[in-house]
Amino acid sequence: MAADLLLVPGLASFRASLPSWPVEKSIEHLISLFRRRQIRGPKPCALATAWLLRKVVSTTRATEPGKLILRVQDVGKKLVEAAPRELTVGNIVRRVLGAIREEEENREADTPLGSEPNSIPPTPAGELPTSFLPASAIAPARDDSPLGRPQNRPALLSQQTGGPERRPAVTSMFSIMAHPTMRGSAGGSSPIRSGSSTPSTVPQPPQNTDFRAEVLEAITEIVDELDQADEQVAGYALDHISSQETIFTYSTSPVVQRFLLKAASKRKFTLIQAESYPNSHKATHATVIGSKIPEGYEDLDTESFSKPLIAYGITVLLIPDSSIFALMSRANKVIISATGVLSNGSIVAAAGTKPLVTAARFHRVPVIVLAETYKLSPVVPYDPFDFVDYGDVQKVVPYQDREMQLGLQSVQNPVTDFVESEYVDMFVTNLGGVATGYMYRTIRDQYHDEDLEL
Amino acid sequence: MPPKQTKVAGRTKEDTKEDPLQAVVVADTFESKFAPFSTERPRCLIPLANAPLIEYTLEYLASAGVQDVFFYAGAHIEQVETYLNASRWMSKSSPLKIILLRCMATSVGDIMRDIDQKRLIQGDFICVSGDIISDFPISKALRVHKQRREKDKDAIMTILVRERNQSDHRHKDQIVPTFVIDPTKDRILHYEESFAGTAFGTHVDPEILKTPELDVRQDLVDCRIDIGTPDMLSLWSDNFDNQHPRKDFLYGVLKDYELNGKTIHTYVVDEHYAHRVDSPAAYAAITYDLQHGIASSLALSNNIAGTRFQRSRKNILKEDDVIIQRPTRLDHGTIVGSGTSIGASTSIRKTIVGRRCQIGKRANIDSAFIWDDVTIGSDVKISRAIVGSETFIGDKCVIEDGALISFGSRIPAGSHIPPGERVTSTSSFNKDGTLAKDPAADAFESDEDEPTYESQWARPFYGQQEFAESTFSLDSDASEPSDEISKDGSRSASFVTHGSEEDTSERFVHDTAAILVQRMQEDRNSDDMQSELMGLRFSGGADGGQVQKAVAIALSRHIHSEVDNGASADKATRKTLEQYRNLVRRPNAEQTIEEQVVFLLEAQLDLSRRTDGARIMPFFVKDLYDLEVFEEEAFTKWFDDERSKEDNVAATRDAAEPFIDWLAATDEEESEEEEEDDDGEED
């Protein structure tokens, strides 16, 4: 089967080719995979980007974080251009850039302090894993409201209040202590150091390699986070689903399915699921009856669907899209997933979501959107049209029905819908529930301000 | 997790080394459907939505996971190579390793034989023409193909076909292939091409009808994406006079199933997009499809072919640096290339505008294809025309439906181009703005292919032309080397004599030659073969000329294979001719000089196609002389014959020159005989 992996270009073949190919070729490879939509969907795109950037970072011979940042930015821009509607690509690039900046700051903070330069100072080392992984991965997740994230918050606040010339983004309590106050002395002392004592200049290179290793570690953590995000979001299921409720959902996605499964393990509820014709009705049907996900939906993880909800004794009503409005009045909550969340809390989601939430609003049914942190994007939606992706027209009008196609001026098959923030009542991320009005803050916390514009 | 990952990676790496997926791109189709454009530029560089066709094909191969590409450019080879060498496909980060190959080819068959000779192909490979646009993941078909081959070594080829709808307009005036398929094994039992709108009759072997289940299908469109095997290539070499991959090769192999036992299968592509830009009609339709995102992975807004389109509402695509003066109306389905400027009050509908074009004020352009660097004046009206690159169109011109403006044309202000007219850079205009008849256009007119492209280009726009009007014949699509090639000057079509009425005789020659070669390899004696030959001749209803032709081909081929097996050229020739001289001419049989010349010409043609042909030719003529098979006159006449001096065969003629000189020196008095100028046709 290994040969088949190579033959079908996609996420698997990209991963397989990554170790053996030169980095430039891999970059081009991923760009063309994005362009041809051979890798699509939020999670595969995020994974591929993270893998590639790990390789880029490990192969770039940069002694300065600044150079590495430029390099990653350069690659990142190309990737975003190749997949302009896959928001997660940009998100991961920003996260990686953030990780590098973090190291840069740590280094600057450490240099004046550390008298033995090549050893890793204990504080930054301990700080690293939590800095870019959501805290919920380590700490008990429940208590982790956005405010509970200790690292970024004070830093960003200080940065925003500060003047533009100030050095931004100090990221830990430790750096707050070290950074602004020590700055003057640090700047003053380092030239003296390098001038007077040779030992401090010699061990500088080991520290540089160290900085890259730290970045690589941070990227590995991002990848781990991508893998665990579903599970973390599902951890909040019991907070949002009570017994005897009627839940309405649309289409299918791994995160919603896990969320519901988690709730089903403790609670009994009724699920109404609309099929989302024509782009994912097959996958929805497969999810409901627990069969194998049909070909073409590779981004959905097959394993997570091995046991359908009905196996837990949940009543699942599979309905056509036309019945959404009629049945909406029966529902207590709408739970859907987003393919991307934008800076003002607007979401990009499966086509048909807009009518769904409009119906929900009419019936005053609250809408809860599940969004893993990697889907949170700082992009500002100036033009909603930019976020609508189009898919195969054949799914709407079969290719063979040529007369029909020619008769119509234009046939289009949107795959995603843009939904304004006012339709969403609440988000559930890896970090717990977030009110829509506060989403901008959660999103800002994810990234460094310098990286908002790639 | 990590160990598993490295394991997978390691394994695939090994596999890559063992068996990279190879592809052969035959960029020249040896057709003339894109004339007059294809006389100046190769078909594969014709722009489709501002990117050359070849970009789409290479992109497809890259997306299918192909690693090595063997590229045969055919006509205009310099242009193609210059383009490719500068393109991203030759850069270090390219996913494809493109190997440009050259060979003297007058047909697809020649290219296939060249590949076989060069022994480049290791395993199963993909063979496409240079104008494929597809998003079909070939891996599915490849898997089926490999599984089939594991069971049955004789399954040498899989052909990708697509079902089509009868109303699909782009296939109307085209060849309709008829597949007789055994649906249980997807095996093709019989193949025939017919012409749309004509009555169809075929001769199917009665044996085939004994198959329990049988599909006779005319609703399949050949995507011209084949999965081939080295066995397939050697079969091409065996059937050395096959030219066309379908009409000759597929037909022949299926017919010879009893003989060689090879089978060919189909794979039906259902959901995905797979098309060939094989005619102007398809060009228009495919552009429309890509623009409207019929297949999302191929949508123009994805920029897979190196374009930089930005989409906007109303399905208009624009590249960077487009300057549009307002008020200007761009309607649904318009594409504008970078660096183009459009004047005020212009209205453009459903039109592809290339790069660096300048369009004046108040122009009205509807459903046209405007290629790069075109200048269009003010108040111009263009509808449904194709305007080639670097064209200048003056103010107040009117260009009507189906007009074709070729590269570099200049149309003075106020001209009126009537529907279906062709304008080239040599066209001149009268003062009243009508097109003057010029010699160049007359040259086109007298060309036998001429009506074909006029109606072809006009057809996508007129749409409703009757089949009966079509002057387009089977062979002009298929194997006949097109005028674009002969104009090119590097090759000649004069030896290849194909026509639909010739088909049966071609087949006779091919079959007979194959049988003869087989007998020679079995070392049969010439008398047995003589009688077998007579039998074949009568059963095939062939005349003496065809028999001679078959013998000439068989002999030269046998000698060549002997030489290939290590025999020296002189000994192999001597031995073969001594043994089989009776086939060429029975002792004391009557034979005209003309027949002998034709025989030599045939042998020469066949030897010219082979690598050692020039080495063998002198011995071949010398032995024929020594054994007193032919008279001296035949040799000198052959040597002086125009047909022996054609570019593609001249090498072998020159090799024989010493012999002719010697002949002239020894028999001076005889050579003084008057030489009548001899222009007899061979058929």
Check B142 against A36: CB less than 8 A apart: no
Return the pLDDT at B490. 35
Q: What is the CATH number of the domain that holds B662?
A: 1.25.40.180
Yes or no, beta carbons of B292 and A393 under 8 Å apart: yes
Nearest CA in chain A to B291: A410
Task: Specify whether B40 is located in the same domain as B132.
Answer: yes
Looking at the structure, tell me whether residues B316 and B242 fall in a common domain. no
List the single residue in A15, A32, A405 with the smallest CB-CB distance to B62.
A32
Q: Please choose, from the candidates B107, B51, B46, the residue with its C-alpha nearest in 3D space to the C-alpha of residue B79.
A: B46
Per residue in B332-390, pLDDT (tens digit) is 788 999 999 999 999 998 899 999 999 999 999 988 999 999 999 999 999 888 899 99
Nearest Cβ partner of B292 from A8, A19, A410? A410
CB nearest A390 (choices: B93, B163, B296): B296
**Is B274 in contact with B225 (CB distance < 8 Å)?**
yes
Q: Which of A135-144, B131-140, B666-675 tops mean pLDDT?
A: B131-140
- Give residue A131's pLDDT: 41
Residues of A in contact with B94 (CB under 8 A): 25, 28
B332 within 8 A of B347, measured Cβ to Cβ: no
Q: For residue A9, which residues of chain B lie inside 8 Å, CB to CB?
A: 63-65
Structure tokens at B75: 């006509």
Partner residue opposite A9 with nearest CB, options B63, B142, B312: B63
Query: What is the pLDDT confidence band of residue B222, given thresholds at 50, 70 and 90?
Result: confident
For residues A348 and A310, the answer to whether their CB atoms sit within 8 Å is no
Is residue B480 a part of any domain in this protein?
no
pLDDT band at A366 (very low <50, low <70, confident <90, very high): very high
Asked if A2 lies within 8 A of B332 by C-beta distance, the reply is no
Q: Say yes or no: B274 and B314 in one domain.
A: no
Residue B269 — left, alpha, or beta (φ > 0 → left; ψ -120 to 50 → alpha)?
Answer: beta
DSSP secondary structure letter of residue A414? B
Sign for the pseudo-dihedral over CA of A393, A396, A402, A403: negative
Query: Range with the lowest mean pLDDT among A210-214, B13-17, B599-603, B635-639?
Result: B13-17
Same domain, B246 and B372: no
Task: Indicate whether B286 belongs to any domain.
Answer: no
Is B327 within the bounds of a domain? yes
pLDDT, mean of residues B649-670: 74
Residue A364 has pLDDT above 60, yes or no: yes
Give the sign of the dihedral formed by CA A60, CA A64, CA A68, CA A71: negative
Q: Could you tell me which residues are beta bridge partners of residue A348?
A: A340, A418
More confident residue, A406 or B332: B332
Contact between A212 and A112 (Cβ < 8 Å) = no
Residues B586-636 have pLDDT tens digits of 766 677 777 778 888 888 887 777 777 777 788 878 887 887 777 777 778
Which pLDDT does position A140 carry in this prediction?
Answer: 42
Contacts of B95 in chain A (CB under 8 A): 25, 28-29, 32
What pLDDT sits at residue A45?
A: 95
Joined together, the tokens standing for residue A280 give 């994912």
Beta strand A416-419 with A347-350 is antiparallel
Q: Domains of chain A by range and CATH?
A: 2-230 (no CATH), 235-451 (3.40.50.10470)
- Mean pLDDT across B108-124: 86
pLDDT of residue A380: 92
| CB-CB contact of B194 with B178 (8 Å) | yes
Interface test with A, best of B302, B308, B349 (most A CBs within 10 A): B302
Cβ-based contacts of A415 with chain B (< 8 Å)? 296
8 Å CB contact of B12 and A403: no
* Higher local confidence (pLDDT), A182 or B311: B311
Q: Give the C-alpha separation, B142 to A374, whole Å.
A: 37
User: pLDDT tens-digit profile of B143-153?
Assistant: 889 889 888 88
Q: Label residues B649-662 b or e (16+ Cβ within 10 Å = b).
A: beebbebbeebbee
* Chain B residue numbers touching A13 (CB-CB < 8 A): 65
Quick check: B210 pLDDT over 90? no
Name the 3-class secondary structure at B253.
Answer: helix
Same domain, B563 and B635: yes
- What's the gap in Å between the CA of B112 and the closest CA on chain A? 24
Q: How far is A73 from chain B (nearest CA, A)?
A: 19
Contact B65 A8 (CB under 8 A): yes
Q: State how far the Cα of B72 lies from the Cα of B42, in Å rounded to an integer.
A: 12
Q: Which of B65, B297, B315 lies nearest to residue A13, judging by beta carbons?
A: B65
| B chain contacts of residue A36, beta-carbon cutoff 8 Å | 59, 63, 135, 297-298, 302, 304
Q: Does B533 lie in the same domain as B590?
A: yes
Q: What's the gap in Å between the CA of B234 and the closest CA on chain A?
A: 26
Specify the CATH number for the domain of residue B366. Answer: 2.160.10.10
Domain contains B110: yes
CA distance A3 to chain B (A): 6
Residue A225 has pLDDT above 90, yes or no: yes
Same domain, yes or no: B386 and B531: no
Nearest-Cα distance to chain B for A202, in Å, is 35
Residue B429 counted as domain residue: yes
Predicted local confidence at residue B571, as pLDDT: 80
Residue with tokens 């405010």: A147
The residue type at B670: E
For residue B176, count other CB atoms closer than 10 A to its CB.
Answer: 18
Q: Are strands B263-269 and B187-195 parallel, antiparallel or unpaired?
A: antiparallel
- How, if at all, do strands B335-336 and B352-353 pair? parallel
Contact: B332, A410; criterion CB under 8 Å: yes
What average pLDDT does this structure show over B62-84?
Answer: 86
> Which sign does the torsion angle of CA B587, B593, B598, B603 carry?
positive
pLDDT tens-place string over residues B263-287:
899 998 877 888 888 777 788 888 8
Q: Hey, are the CB atoms on B293 and A15 less than 8 Å from each other?
A: no
For helices A152-161 and A173-196, the axis angle rounded to 10 degrees is: 70
Map residue B207 onto helix, strand or coil.
coil
Decide which of B402, B421, B446 is a domain's last residue. B446
Instruction: Write down the pLDDT at residue A294.
Output: 58
**Rounded Cα gap, residues A385 and A389, in angstroms:** 9
Query: By C-alpha distance, which of B332, B312, B288 is closest to A84?
Result: B312
Query: What's the mean pLDDT in A48-63?
Result: 91
Cα dihedral angle (B398, B400, B403, B409), rounded to 10 degrees? 0
Taking contacts as CB-CB distances below 8 angstroms, the residues of chain B near A385 are: 312-313
- Report yes or no on B495 lying in a domain: no
Nearest-by-CA chain A residue for B219: A400
Domain membership of residue B230 (yes or no) is yes
pLDDT band at A88 (very low <50, low <70, confident <90, very high): very high
Q: Which residues contact B254 (CB under 8 A, 6 or more apart)?
A: B188, B189, B190, B191, B264
Q: Which of B92, B295, B332 sits opposite A24 (nearest CB)?
A: B92
Count interface pairs A-B at CB distance under 8 A: 125
Question: Which residue intervals of A253-312 are DSSP H helices?
Answer: 254-264, 281-289
Are B95 and A25 within 8 A, CB to CB? yes
**Residue among A402, A403, A415 with most chain B CBs within 10 A, to mutate:** A402
Contacts of B295 in chain A (CB under 8 A): 392-394
Instruction: Write out chain B residues lying below 8 Å of A410, CB-based.
Output: 292, 315, 332-333
Query: Cα separation of B646 and B682, whole Å?
Result: 15
Interface of chain A toward chain B, CB-CB under 8 angstroms: 2-9, 13, 15-20, 22, 24-25, 27-29, 32, 35-38, 385, 390-394, 399-403, 405-406, 409-413, 415
| pLDDT grade for B503, boundaries at 50, 70 and 90 | low
Boundary-marking domain end, from B423, B446, B469: B446
| Mean pLDDT for all residues in chain B | 76
Q: Do B13 and A4 touch (CB under 8 A)?
A: no
* pLDDT at res. B193: 81
From B135's Cα to the closest Cα of chain A, the distance in A is 9
Cβ pair A22:B93 closer than 8 A = yes
pLDDT of residue A203: 43
Max Cα-Cα span within chain A: 84
Per DSSP, the three-state class of A285 is helix
Q: For residue B96, give the CATH number of its domain.
A: 3.90.550.10
Check if the beta carbon of residue A356 is closer than 8 Å to that of residue A429: no
The pLDDT, as a whole number, for residue A34 is 92
What is the H or E stretch that residue B120 is in?
none
User: Is the pLDDT confidence value at A89 over 50?
Assistant: yes
Among A287-301, A392-406, A428-442, the range with the most confident prediction by mean pLDDT is A428-442
Give the pLDDT band of residue A190 (cuts 50, 70, 90). Answer: very low
**Which helix (H) or strand (E) element contains residue A65?**
helix A65-82
* Residue A70's pLDDT band (cuts 50, 70, 90): very high
Among the partner residues A15, A36, A402, nearest to B165 by beta-carbon distance: A402
More confident site: B78 or A3: B78
A97-133: burial string, b at 16+ Cβ within 10 Å, e else: bbbbbbbbbbbbbbbbebeebeebbebbeebbebbbb
The verdict on a CB contact (< 8 Å) between A400 and B164 is yes
Q: Which two tokens stand for residue B626?
A: 């020594």
Euclidean distance between CA atoms B621 and B610, whole angstroms: 17
| Residue A240 pLDDT grade (very low, low, confident, very high; cuts 50, 70, 90) | very high
Query: DSSP state, A147?
Result: G
The verdict on B542 and B410 lying in the same domain is no
User: What's the pLDDT tens digit per position in B427-479?
Assistant: 777 766 677 655 444 444 433 333 333 344 444 433 333 333 333 333 333 33
Lowest-confidence segment of B128-137, B476-485, B501-510 by average pLDDT = B476-485
> Who's near A256: CB < 8 A, 6+ residues apart?
A249, A335, A336, A337, A370
Q: What is the DSSP string of A356-406?
A: HHHHHHHTT--EEEE--GGGB-----S-GGGG--B--GGGTS-TT-HHHHH
Choose the closest CB to A400 out of B21, B165, B315: B165
pLDDT tens by residue, B280-322: 778 888 888 887 777 778 888 888 888 888 888 777 888 888 9
Same domain, B510 and B400: no
Pair of tokens at residue B405: 């403006």
DSSP A303: G
B425 and B513 together in one domain:
no
Burial of A217 (0-12, 13-18, 19+ CB in 10 A): middle
Q: Are residues B133 and B259 in the same domain?
A: yes
Name which of A7, A17, A401 is nearest B21 (Cβ-Cβ). Answer: A7
Cβ atoms of A259 and A335 closer than 8 Å: yes
Among the listed residues B159, B149, B105, the one whose alpha carbon sits nearest the alpha carbon of residue B127: B159
- Are the beta carbons of A36 and B135 separated by less than 8 Å? yes
* A402 with B167: Cβ contact below 8 A: yes
Spell out which residues of chain A touch residue B312, defining contact as CB-CB under 8 Å: 385
**Whether A385 contacts A450, CB under 8 Å:** no
Task: Say what percent of chain B tops pLDDT 70.
Answer: 81
- More confident of the two residues B375 and B1: B375
**Residue B542 structural domain:** 500-671
Is it the case that residue A436 has pLDDT exceeding 90? yes
Does residue B8 fall inside a structural domain? no
Say which residue, A306 or B539, is predicted with more confidence.
B539
Task: Show residues of chain B in contact with A409, CB under 8 Å.
Answer: 332
- This model of the complex carries an ipTM of 0.71
What domain count does chain B have?
A: 3
**Side chain identity at A177, as an amino acid letter?**
M
φ, ψ of residue B310 in degrees (nearest 5): -115, 130
Interface test with A, best of B6, B88, B227, B294 (most A CBs within 10 A): B294
Taking Cα atoms as reference points, which of A419, A365, A443, A428 lies closest to residue A141? A428
Same-domain pairing of B36 and B184: yes
Q: Final residue of a domain: which of B431, B446, B461?
A: B446
- A18 contacts B9? CB cut-off 8 A: yes
Selecting from A8, A22, A24 the residue whose C-beta is nearest the C-beta of B139 gives: A8
Give every CB contact of residue B188 below 8 A, 6+ residues apart in sequence: B159, B179, B180, B181, B250, B254, B263, B264, B265, B266
Residue A195: phi and psi, rounded to 5, are -75, -40
Separation between Cα atoms, residue A423 and residue B250, nearest integer Å:
61
The pLDDT of residue B470: 32
Residues of A in contact with B292 (CB under 8 A): 393, 410-412
Of A6, A17, A394, the CB nearest to B294: A394
Nearest of B130, B115, B133 to residue B74 by alpha carbon? B130
